[in-house]
Amino acid sequence: MIALESVSKRYGPKTIIHDISFEVAKGEIVGFRGPNGAGKTTTMRMIAGYTTATSGKVSVAGYDMASQNEEAAKRLGYLPEHPPLYDVLEVTNYLRFVAKVKGIPRAAVRRELDRVIQACRLEAVTDKETYKLSKGYRQRLGLAQALLGDPEVLLLDEPTAGLDPGQIQETREVIRSFGENHAVLLSTHILPEATLICRRVAIINQGRLLAVDSPSGLQQASEKTNQVSLLVSGPADAIGDAIRSVDGVISVHARPNGTRGELLSVDCQVDNRDGVEAAIARVVAGRWSLHRLERQQPTLENIFLRYVGEGART
Amino acid sequence: MNGLMAIYQKELAMYFRSPIAYFVIAVFLLGTGYFFVYNIFLTGIGTMDQTFQNMGILLVTLVPILTMRLFSGEYSARTMELLATLPLRPWQIVIGKYLGAATMLLIMTLATGINLIPLFLYGNPEGSTIFAGYIGFFLLGLACVAIGQFFSALTQNQIVAALITVPVLLAFWFVGHLAAFQGSVWLRELFGHLSFAVHFGDFIRGLIRSEAVAFYLVVAAIALTLNASFLQWRR
């Protein structure tokens, strides 16, 4: 439904997006994750047809965005990063305008408006001008306009930004039910969102796609290398050498602890053998004073940070 | 066609939901009324010649206020991202908006008709001359609106859009005066042809010349084409 083939975007000499390829199939919700400025919004805008790719091909529902923009736009619902609302229009009039542009038949407009108003819980504000709406309502109205006309493809840039926890859950449900028969690409800062409703997660940083996999797939890949963190007082070089001598340790990174200068924070990448952390503990505790030792779970947040960190170093 | 009509209706709805349209119409009608009363009572002759001249200048200064938000407002409210990703072609957006602003212009033009009531009641004006003047006035307005709309597409800032449009329109209005200083016939003719005021003068005298009609329409068409091309290029 959404397909990117070797897509790059340059502004002048600066390359913002480097050779990105991925697909989103029907019935699939894909989460798009990356730090600020990673290129999520630019990628979303290229898929939505707001900007064109410098090279490569973007297609939506089988239509090439470069040459069949209008056909693709008919099959696309898009919620940009900032909900695109006309301040002086009332909620119903705003939705009616979007419905008309999307070519929804006159007879079906009322029914369609009722559907999205109900799905996005906008019943209480239908007669209000949009400038009077709270941030949460603005966000939900933005989502409502994207849902109008039941598009085959839905692009949502930070759909839950500015919502309170209850609203986040409701919005998630709307997206989840929509995603059963449609293709949804959803960018988000919030990781639980990606874990809860997305079948796959695409991680992007500095315009490069670092990984596309299911949350559990990313987790499994990451479990092959686990992290053990220590807080210890003693000389960094000697401690590092001692830990490196333990069987199963892949790499060691020591740095002074930020809050207590005499202490050392040590992060070790270890393989998934049992007892590695116990061996580290024995070696360290025998010669220096060990204050803390923990094996970190490979949560999706840690996996994301690791990918982004590695991406930044390469 | 649906998309174009939706844009048109949205533009009209937005004009009447903001104070700007009311302000422009009020200032225009007050100004026109003042000029009308002043000119008629000063000369004692029942013609609209001088009043049309004054209306033309007033229009040239007020149109930028009417057109400044057409695209700048969309950029600053970030609604351009919606328009550009809906199934709309750039020309549909451009024409829809243009028709919205042209409707405001038509309302302004028709509203000045109230001045004609005493003129026809107590004087003996030439109806056909006044009619030609109104045709010229509306065509002049159409060209000005298209130019203002184009400049609005170039910037996010509505004030900047208006500030660029005013001198450009004034230049089109006054360029005819430069003709008097030119030695070469070619330049004299060029400045005369480019002048909004010179062509408008024909209409005020009761002449609907196809050349003058075509001039305003061509200016509007060029501005609208540039506008649509700019939107396409922006992608």
For the segment B84-131, what is each residue's pLDDT rounded down to a tens digit?
999 999 999 999 999 999 999 999 999 998 888 888 888 788 888 999
In sequence order, what are the residues at sequence separation of 6 or more whose Cβ sits closer than 8 angstroms to the Cβ of residue A195? Answer: A201, A215, A300
pLDDT at A312: 55
> Smallest CA–CA separation between B82 and chain A, in Å?
6
Q: Say how many domains are in chain A.
A: 2
Range of A26's domain? 2-214
Cβ-based contacts of B13 with chain A (< 8 Å): 88-89, 93
Q: How far is CA A281 from the centre of its chain?
A: 37
Do A149 and A104 form a contact (C-beta atoms < 8 A)? yes
Q: Would an 8 Å CB–CB cutoff place A93 in contact with chain B? A: yes
pLDDT(A311) > 60: no
Euclidean distance between CA atoms B115 and B51, whole angstroms: 10
Same domain, A153 and A279: no
Residue A141 pLDDT level (bands cut at 50, 70, 90): very high
Domain boundary among A155, A189, A214: A214
Question: Quick one: A289 exposed, middle or buried, by C-beta within 10 A (0-12, 13-18, 19+)?
Answer: exposed
Q: What does the angle CA B73 – CA A162 – CA A197 come to, to the nearest 5 degrees?
A: 115
The two tokens of residue A56 are 């490569």
pLDDT at A235: 84
Asked whether the CA dihedral A85, B225, B131, B37 is positive or negative, the reply is positive
**Helical spans, DSSP H, in A158-252:** 165-179, 191-197, 215-223, 236-244
Euclidean distance between CA atoms B153 and B93, whole angstroms: 11
pLDDT at A86: 95
Question: Would you list the domain boundaries of chain B?
Answer: 2-234
Contacts 24+ apart (CB under 8 A), B207-215: B207/B132, B208/B132, B208/B135, B208/B136, B212/B136, B212/B139, B213/B135, B213/B139
Tens digits of residue pLDDT in A159-192: 888 788 888 888 888 888 888 888 999 988 766 6
Give exposure, B179-196, as e/b (b: 16+ Cβ within 10 Å): beeeeeeeebeebbebbb
Cβ-based contacts of A87 with chain B (< 8 Å): 77
> Cβ B78–A89 below 8 Å, yes or no?
no
Euclidean distance between CA atoms A263 and A281, whole angstroms: 16
The residue behind tokens 């220590």 is A230
pLDDT(A238) > 80: yes
Strand-pair category, A76-79 with A153-157? parallel
Helix (H) or strand (E) holding A14: strand A14-24
Would you tell me which residues 58-77 of chain B have a C-beta closer than 8 angstroms to some C-beta of chain A? 77
> Cβ A97–B6 below 8 Å, yes or no?
yes
Same domain, A76 and A165: yes
Q: What end-to-end distance do the CA atoms of chain B give, in Å?
A: 22
pLDDT(A314) > 60: no
Q: Would an 8 Å CB–CB cutoff place A138 in contact with chain B? A: no
Q: How far is CA A46 from the centre of its chain?
A: 17
> Cβ B82–A70 below 8 Å, yes or no?
no
The model carries a pTM of 0.83
Q: How far is CA A118 from the centre of its chain?
A: 26
Domain boundary among A170, A189, A214: A214
Euclidean distance between CA atoms A135 and A116, whole angstroms: 18
Domain harbouring A45, CATH code? 3.40.50.300
Same domain, A164 and A210: yes
Q: How far is CA A192 from the centre of its chain?
A: 10
pLDDT at A53: 92
Tens digits of residue pLDDT in B126-145: 888 999 999 999 999 999 99
Tens digits of residue pLDDT in A94-128: 999 999 999 999 999 999 999 999 989 899 999 99
In tens digits, chain B (235 residues) has pLDDT values of 788 999 999 999 999 998 988 999 999 999 999 998 888 877 777 778 888 999 999 999 999 999 999 999 999 999 999 999 999 999 999 999 999 999 999 999 999 988 888 888 887 888 889 999 999 999 999 999 999 999 999 999 999 999 999 999 999 998 888 877 777 778 888 888 888 988 998 999 988 999 999 999 999 999 999 999 999 888 7
Euclidean distance between CA atoms B229 and B233, whole angstroms: 6
CA atoms within 13 A on the CB side of B22: 6
Helix then strand count (H, E) for chain A reads 11, 14
Q: How far is CA A235 from the centre of its chain?
A: 40
Which residue in B6, B17, B82 is closest to A84 by CB distance? B82
Phi-psi map region of A43: left, alpha, beta (phi>0 left; psi -120 to 50 alpha): alpha
> Smallest CA–CA separation between A173 and chain B, in Å?
24
Domain boundary among A180, A214, A248: A214
> Cβ A80–B9 below 8 Å, yes or no?
no
Do A218 and A248 form a contact (C-beta atoms < 8 A)? no
pLDDT at A246: 86
Q: Give the chain A residue nearest B89 (alpha carbons).
A: A70
Euclidean distance between CA atoms B88 and B91, whole angstroms: 8
Q: Give backbone dihedrals phi and psi of B91, rounded to 5 degrees, phi first.
A: -65, -30
